Structure formats: C-alpha cells, structure tokens
Structure 1
Amino acid sequence: MMMIRPIEYRDLADLLTLASKSGIGLTSLPQDAATLSARIKRALKTWQGELPPSEQCYLFVLEDRERSRVVGICAIEVAIGLMEPWYSFRVSTQVHASKQLNVYKSVPMLFLSNDHTGHSELCTLFLDPDYRYGENGKLLSKVRLLFIAAFRKRFMQRLIAEMRGFSDEKGRSPFWESIGRHFFSIEFAKADYLSGIGQKAFIAELMPKHPLYIDFLSEDAQKVIGEVHPQTVPARRVLESEGLDYQGYVDIFDGGATLEAEIDKMRVVKHSRLVKVALTETPICLDAPSLLVANDNYQHYRALLVNTALYDDRLPINAASAAALGVEQGSMVRILPLTAQEKA
C-alpha cells in the first residue's frame, strides 16, 4: 500500500537516496544531509506551530508501507520571497517603432521579477523512478492540493509551481549556457546545487538587472523558454488539470515554466468534499473510480488512493485502508476523484 504522510526525522536516509536519483535541476532536493535535515526540522516546526508563515514549509513523503520505505517527496512553501528575494524572469515584449521609417516591431524580452513574492508554492516533487507507474505520481502531486483545500486559511491567495526546465542527458541546460554562464561563470550544476542548499546571495549579486533580448539568445535557448524537462511533463499535465497554468514566468536558471492560479478557483477547492467512512469486508473494486482520500487530521495527516464508489454518500473502504488513514466507521474523510481525462 502506498500512503502519504508528513515527513519525520527517520526519513533522512531515504531522502538522501532519493536526492541521489533526482539529477540536476531539482534545486529543492540537494544531495546534502545538513540541508535536508534542516528542512525536515523546519517542516516539523511548521506542523507544531512554531514558525511564522514566511518560514513555514509542509513536507510530505510517499511511503511504500510493505517495504517501510520512502519513495517520493513533495512540499508546500506557505509564503515565498519574504525572508529572501524570490526571482523569476517575466517573458514580455518591448515595442520598437519608427514613424519616419514606418517600422513597428514587438521584441520579446526577459525581465527580472519578484512578482511572486508572498505566494504559496508547490515544490520538491520527486518520485523514485522505480515507482513511476500506475497513479503514484498523481497521488504525490495532488495530495498537496487536497491538504491546501482542507486547511485553506493557512495558505495565501495565489499558488505557484516552478517546473523543472529542460536539460539534456548530460545535465546541460541551453538556457543556462545562453544566459547564466555569462553572468555567473560557473557550471549549471554548481549554481543549481548552491541554490538548493540555500546559498542564494549570488543570484542577487550577479543576475542582470536590465531586460534581456530573447532574440540574442541561442536558438536552442529560445526553444526551451517556458518548456519543462521531459520527466516533468506528466507533473505539469496533472497541475494544469487542476487549474494552474503558464502565465509568462520562467525559472532564471533553466527557463522552466512557472504555473500559477488563484487557490479558490482551483478544482480541488471547489470539488473536494467530506464524506463518512463505511467499513466493508468486500474487496475494493479495481474497476471503480480512483479517489484520493485524506483524513484531514492536521497533526497526523494521512492520504492514499482507493478504488471504490460512493454509496449513499458514504465511502466504502476496507479495514486496511481505514487503519492506514487512522479512521474508523463513521469518521469523516476528504475525497477528490481523479478526472476522466486523467484516467484516459
């Protein structure tokens, strides 16, 4: 059984193993024990109510209960950019015109931006390659949205997700080669690592403050602006199905798309709902719709996918699923069906 729960200190070893498989481009999952340990500590302090919103981060893991092994991770930052600047490139245009020459041209530009300051952020999504089958990826990605719906007042008005940009099999980013290298004089992998362990002062010190002409970039760099890494395409589709979309902001390192939305307009907020548990000895039907189910217990949050159908506005689940969720007959749980489009 695959189950979502809050991270614990005992997960550090598994987290380091996941980090070793993540490759270049996932800045929030560095191969650094001290950084990951500090992040676990910050997440636990968030649940304990010991941090202000500007420092809060919820960190969830996907656990293979049969093997007692963490195989995935995802997170929510409550309010970004309030402790240190949050940078993005905004893709926009500048008009060059001459009435005398009868010339009018819109030129695409990159503007350094802090526009997402104070937004909540979906981040740190990574699933062990050995578990990229079935609906594990959807469970890991969507559970953050279900948690936000359950505890809406703890989050901001808008939500973003900075997606991993394109890099080749050797970890080379054409966007970085065309921009970052000229200002930082270091390899993409090193800049990515420094950002991941929290050493971000160099970004403010070295990033260009003036708009950049996209036409001056290499053709390869221009092509990947607003695109995502091939392994990130499924995650992008899942988030877009929930109402997040690309509005012209990209990552300053690799040019990956940033998706965003108003939280209250998202599908999960509108359509997730509470139902009562009905324990049953009948095996769960694999042909039934997949439902994301969570116990809405803030301190002991648990979520999993079940294949079952509502009956008289009750959720039939077996004893094993109820035990994993920490619920019993008549308990209230929050559910969200996967869309028909995703099941196709």
Structure 2
Amino acid sequence: MTYVMRPARPDDLEAMYEMAKLTGGGFTNLPANRPALEAKLARSAEAISRTSDELADDLFVLVLEDAETGAIRGTCQIFSRVGMSWPFYSYRITSHTAYSRELDRTFRNQSLQFVTDLEGSSEVGGLFLHPSARAGGLGLLLARSRYLFIAMHRARFADRLLAELRGIVDGHGNSPFWDGVAGRFFGMSFREADDFNALNGNQFIADLMPRHPIYTAMISDDARAAIGVPHESGRPAMRMLEDEGFAWENYIDIFDGGPTMTIRTDSVKTIAASQRATVDSVDPANGRKGIVATGHLADFRCCLSRIQANEDGSVAIEARARQALCVAADDSVCWATR
C-alpha cells in the first residue's frame, strides 16, 4: 500500500471533518466545524494559486492520501507567517531570584509573561493521523513532508519556524492550565474558548487578558504542573520535532500551557539534508529509507521510498514511488534520508 502527500482540495472537506471529530478537542488547527474547515481549505487554495514568490500570510493544508483507494488518512498544515491577521500570543516563562539578608534565604520564582515574541515566524501544525493508519512510518511522512515543501518553496517562509504542541486536556475536554490561569478572567470553559479561538481568532484574549506577569506560585498545583507539558498523544510529535532539531525555549500556549518548539528554518535537519536530483529509471539496488517529493505548489507530491544516490547525481527510487509521484526518468525530485 502506497500513501502520498498532496495539497488539500475543496472536495477534501468531508474527509477533513471526519478526522477532526476524532481529535478529542483542544486541536485548534483542526476544529470539528465544517465552515471553519471550509475556510481553511479556501485559504489554502488561494495560497496555492498565488504565483508571486514572496513571504505572505499563507496557509498550506496538506493531506495524506491512499494512492490506491483515494481515502484521506491524515493531514498537516504550514502557516507561512503567523501574527499577520491577528497577534500571535504566547506566555514566556521567566525566572526571578531574590535574596533576604535578614532571613539569609534565597527565593526563586517563575512568572508567565504575555508576549508576541514569535510573531513573523512560520509555523508547522495541524498534524493528525487517522487511527487506522498509525503504522509504517506514516507519522514521519506527514511531519517531514512539510519540511520538503518548505525547502522546495523556501522564499515563501520565514527564517524561524515554530510548532505548538497541544497541552494537557482531560477526557472531558478540560484543561487544568486554562482553569487555573486564563479561564479565571474569561468566564468560559476551555472547550468554549478553544472553539471560539478556532472560529474567530484570539483577539478576545488581548481584550481581556491581564498584561502584568502571573507568578506561578499563585496558581493551582494542577495548573502549574501542566506548564510546558505536552498532551500524552502529542509526545511522539514532540520527539519528531526534537529529532529535527526543534527545542523548547520557555514559550507555552496561552490556552492549555502546551510547549511551543522553535528552530531556525534552515537548521531543520530534513531541510538542511534535502537534495535535488533527477530520477533514475531503475529501482534502487539497496538504498536507505527516506522521503522524496516533486512538483511545485498545486503539483506537490511526497511519499516514502528507498532511495539510492548514484555517482552521476541521479537518484533511484522504488517503482511504486515513481508511480505515486507521477515521475519518470530524468524528472526532478527533492529527497532526504535519515
């Protein structure tokens, strides 16, 4: 069975909606709301159709398709520049140390600073793999296809890249971080706030959130324990980000307290290791497992394959990969192995 990544189309709406219903909430980039998903697909189609090659406020939605049946089994998103339509808010964790000579005691405290430090970055997010397809390295294909897309359209993306990981949310859709911090200022549940943000943006946060630092010693134990901790289902995604070189630099999501990972775009391992080559006409005799992509914007396609680099600068990829990518001998591809 062969799977291929491609840009989403408007007719993928129902498949996207069915996947969104499986997320369990707290997944802002994939809301279980048809109008919101339809708007995302329309925005992605607009970005795909834009011919000028510069950094703009684009959203690219990619989907994982079963090349044999056409079934959609995963999705991911790339935002070219956050903070354009509305501010991109984060909490930054800062530390404070005070010393009392009379008590001969040192006190160390942390506070949450309400910031927009990450505005202007590109963002990878919205990664979701259907439960029936969580095997065979498809999670890596979903994640790494975004980096080859960026490498192949580099002028459209910023020099810094971020990824927000979902924080702790319980089986009832409640967030201990939201309940202990922001929820006290808004009079709504985490689910209500998250749904409102997914549909309307987060300007309401700026309107109501206090601007002064929040000392973590003054919030509940449950809220404090959730700071910078990813949801259990997001731990594999965090490991994949760390494998690419992303690091947590004390930025967290203002809703659920999940960690925001960052990296310089050109330092992402898949981007740095990506190479261009022409396709050989034969299968690789040996080769290493990797990903290979072809096409520009609407024609972008990416799949897994064994890849063998030849001395003449060409690469041999598996016949099923050539078929899935619709490439033949001497066509150009972008590839990376690890």
Question: TM-score normalised to the size of structure 2?
Answer: 0.93
For the 8 Å contact 1:54–1:80, the answer to whether it is kept is no
Do residues 43 (structure 1) and 44 (structure 2) align?
yes
5+ residue gaps, structure 1: 339-344
Q: Which amino acid aligns with 1:43?
A: S
Tell me which of 204, 210, 233 is aligned to 1:231. 233
Offset at residue 278 of structure 1 (A): 1.3
Misfit runs of 4+, over 4 Å: 50-54
Q: Which amino acid aligns with 2:161?
A: L
Q: Which amino acid aligns with 2:19?
A: L
3-state secondary structure, aligned to 1:334: strand
Offset at residue 64 of structure 1 (A): 1.2
3-state secondary structure, aligned to 1:21: coil
Offset at residue 319 of structure 1 (A): 4.0
Q: Describe the superposition over 1:155-212 as per-residue Cα deviations: whole angstroms up to 9, x where unpaired.
A: 1110100111111222221111211221111111111111111242321122221111
Q: Describe the superposition over 1:60-104 as per-residue Cα deviations: whole angstroms up to 9, x where unpaired.
A: 111112221111111111111122111100011123333454443
- Structure 2 counterpart of 1:107: 109
For the 8 Å contact 2:304–2:321, the answer to whether it is kept is no
C-alpha separation in 2, matches of 1:279 and 1:134: 26
* Percentage of identical aligned residues: 33
Structure 1 residues 170 and 288, CA gap change in structure 2 (3 angstroms): farther
Structure 1 residues 289 and 319, CA gap change in structure 2 (3 angstroms): closer
Do residues 196 (structure 1) and 198 (structure 2) align?
yes
Say what the alpha-carbon RMSD is for the aligned residues. 1.9
Q: Describe the superposition over 1:273-295 as per-residue Cα deviations: whole angstroms up to 9, x where unpaired.
A: 11221122x5x78x853111001
Q: Describe the superposition over 1:234-285 as per-residue Cα deviations: whole angstroms up to 9, x where unpaired.
A: 11111111111100000011110000011122212321111221122x5x78
- Structure 2 counterpart of 1:297: 296
C-alpha separation in 2, matches of 1:255 and 1:98: 32
For the 8 Å contact 2:292–2:334, the answer to whether it is kept is yes
C-alpha separation in 2, matches of 1:121 and 1:61: 17
Tell me which of 203, 206, 209 is aligned to 1:207. 209
Q: Which has the larger displacement, 310-319 or 191-200?
A: 310-319
Size of the aligned set, in residue pairs, is 335
Q: Which amino acid aligns with 1:97?
A: Y
- Structure 2 counterpart of 1:123: 125
5+ residue gaps, structure 2: none
Offset at residue 318 of structure 1 (A): 4.1
For the 8 Å contact 1:29–1:36, the answer to whether it is kept is yes
Question: TM-score normalised to the size of structure 1?
Answer: 0.92
Alignment of structure 1 residues 1-344 onto 2, 5 Å: 1-49=2-50, 53-280=55-282, 288-312=287-311, 313-338=313-338
For the 8 Å contact 2:245–2:268, the answer to whether it is kept is yes
C-alpha separation in 2, matches of 1:215 and 1:160: 28
C-alpha separation in 1, matches of 2:215 and 2:259: 18
3-state secondary structure, aligned to 2:308: coil
